[in-house]
Chain A
Amino acid sequence: MNKKKAGGIESFHPPRLYPDYKSTVLRAPHRPLILVPGIFDDAYGPVFGESEVGPDDHDLTKNGRRDGEPLGERMIVHGKVMDLNGKGIPNTLVELWQANSAGRYIHKVDQHDAPLDPNFLGAGRCLTDQEGCYLFYTIKPGAYPWGNHYNAWRPQHLHFSVFGRNISSRLVTQMYFPGDPLLLYDPIYESAPETTRHLMVADFDLDRTEPMFALGYKFDIVLNGRNESRFENR
């Protein structure tokens, strides 16, 4: 088991070994992780340019079209990527991937017996703006079954990958939907500490809902990483 220091940033994340999520058993490191103060202080990593973003990269309702529109409930997902001080992180890459409205991934390994949507890829990306805000148009994904335990279903979710300012701010997470009854039964969601779990559940956002077009959801993302001040509270 990995030892946890009170107040260490890892204590706000899931443990590496979480046997209710069976795949962690053979893949979580057994030995204590090595703590080297300062090892992640350098701000470095990819530098992103606006020019690389395709016009429909942020619009999953358009970027997979072949001969029509994707099926399902259209939605707008937006939010702010920020540091632990709440300061927005501009010009950082946000990547999104997800199942279609039937709960099926286009990935070749996904064998779930639900239809693919010929007009939906399920992948997108954007850069945050000067305030750290991002926005995607997409389709609400379906829940899907998985083999972790008997009658296991993943709650509806979007997968997010975010960079931030430095190597320790790197985050891969999932966004969930308010009121989903499956959250209670999902070991991946439940693996996160009670203090932070709810931060993965988006808020329904009527203000950003576009009349006659799409429902709005707000999902802010707070990244690790030492910036102006150290993380000292708990």
Chain B
Amino acid sequence: MKLPTPSQTVGPFFAYGLTPQQYGYDFSQWYNNKLIDPQQHDDSIIITGRVFDGNHDTVPDAMIELWQRDGECNLFGRVGTGTDPDHRFIFHTIKPRTDGTGAPFVTLILFMRGQLLHSYTRIYFEDESDLNKSDPVLLNVPESRRETLVARKQGSKYFFDIYMQGPNETVFFEIC
């Protein structure tokens, strides 16, 4: 058996390498915050939010990846929090369907300066409360913390703030 190459922080200067067009650098970018073209999909949704550190300050230098698969669509997006004045991330996607075993969800991976190892979390959807109640992964999460994984809905937008620390600390999943 090999040992894994250890993780290191993405650091503060990833933008021209990983999200160059978003930040205005002269290098093409394969993936951005549009997992689908919102013009082409009547059912497109927006998932937006901010990342808060332990001082409750917004994190302006995080990179967030959205991994979405529901048996029908396999979608991937990536965005940095450094170009929005409020340090929001904004993803355009379609709502995932249930894969039959639980509630619909997407996975987020957070990378940032001050994180030596990236963080995995999931977004579930407020308007799927029946399926959320029986989702096997949510049931593994202490009940008092499940709410941190559920995006709030307003129109076609879902709001999902991420708290690294504090009373509303978001649930993160251990890599296994």
**What is A's interface to B at a CB cutoff of 8 Å?**
2, 8-10, 12-16, 18, 21, 23-31, 33-37, 39-40, 42, 44-47, 52, 54, 63-64, 82-86, 93, 95-97, 105-110, 121-125, 159, 161, 167-168, 170-174, 188-189, 191-193, 195-197, 199-200, 220-224, 226, 231, 233
List the count of A-B residue pairs having beta carbons below 8 Å apart: 224
- The answer to whether B40 has its CB under 8 Å from any CB of chain A is no
Chain B residues whose C-beta falls within 8 Å of the C-beta of A28 in the assembled complex: 114-115, 164-165
Within 8 A of A (CB), among B110-125: 111-120
CA distance A47 to B69 in the complex (A): 12
Assembled-state Cα–Cα distance A107/B141 (Å) = 39
Report B-chain residues with C-beta under 8 Å of the C-beta of A191: 8, 116
Whether A10 pairs with B175 at a CB distance below 8 angstroms is yes
B158 sits at the interface (CB 8 A)? no
Q: Which residue, B11, B26, B171, has most C-beta atoms of chain A within 10 A?
A: B11
Can you name the residue of chain B whose Cβ is closest to the Cβ of A84? B2
Chain A residues lying within 8 Å of B20, measured Cβ to Cβ, are 123
- Give Cα A159–Cα B17 distance, bound, in whole angstroms: 9
By beta carbon, the residue of chain A nearest B136 is: A36
Contacting residues, chain B, for A29 (C-beta < 8 A): 119, 164-165, 169-170, 172
- CB pair A221 B111 closer than 8 Å: no
Point out the residues of chain A lying under 8 angstroms from B119, CB to CB: 16, 29
In the bound complex, what is the Cα–Cα distance between A189 and B141 (angstroms)? Answer: 33
- CA of A220 to CA of B3 in the docked complex: distance in angstroms? 11
Are A221 and B113 interface neighbours, CB within 8 A? no
Q: When chains A and B are docked, how far (Å) is the Cα of A26 from the Cα of B140?
A: 26
B39 close to chain A: CB less than 8 A: no
Contact-size category for B: 35 or more
| CB pair B13 A109 closer than 8 Å | yes
Alpha-carbon distance between A5 and B83 when the two chains are bound, in angstroms: 38
The answer to whether B8 and A35 have CB atoms under 8 Å apart is no
Closest to B118 in A: A172
28 examples of A-B residue contacts, CB within 8 angstroms: A8-B174, A9-B4, A13-B4, A14-B6, A16-B115, A23-B114, A25-B54, A26-B53, A31-B171, A34-B171, A36-B140, A46-B30, A46-B76, A64-B26, A84-B3, A93-B30, A97-B18, A109-B12, A110-B12, A121-B26, A171-B5, A172-B9, A174-B8, A192-B116, A195-B3, A196-B5, A196-B6, A199-B5
Residues of B close to A121: CB separation below 8 A: 16, 25-27
- For the complex, what is the distance from the CA of A9 to the CA of B2, rounded to whole Å? 12
Q: Does B15 contact A (CB under 8 A)?
A: yes
Binding site for A on B (CB under 8 A): 1-18, 20, 23, 25-28, 30-31, 53-55, 59, 61, 65, 67, 69, 74, 76, 107, 109, 111-120, 137, 140-141, 145, 164-165, 169-176
Interface of B is mostly: loop
- Within the assembled complex, what's the spacing in Å between the Cα atoms of A30 and B107? 20
B25: chain A residues within 8 A (beta carbon): 106, 121, 123
B174 with A33: CB separation less than 8 A: yes
B residues within 8 A CB of A195? 3
Closest Cβ–Cβ distance, residue B5 to chain A (whole Å): 5
The distance from the CB of A28 to the nearest CB of chain B, in whole angstroms, is 7
Asked whether, in the complex, the Cβ of A107 is within 8 Å of the Cβ of B16, the reply is yes
Check if B55 sits within 8 Å of A44, measured CB to CB.
no
**Chain B residue contacts of A37, Cβ below 8 A:** 176
The 3 closest A-B pairs by CB, nearest first: A97-B17, A23-B114, A27-B114
Contact status B173-A34, CB under 8 Å: yes
Q: Are B115 and A27 in contact (CB under 8 A)?
A: yes
Enumerate chain B residues within 8 angstroms of A84, measured Cβ to Cβ: 1-4
List residues of chain A with CB within 8 A of the CB of B171: 31, 34
User: Within the assembled complex, what's the spacing in Å between the Cα atoms of A26 and B52?
Assistant: 9
Inter-chain CA distance A59–B135, complex, in Å, is 46
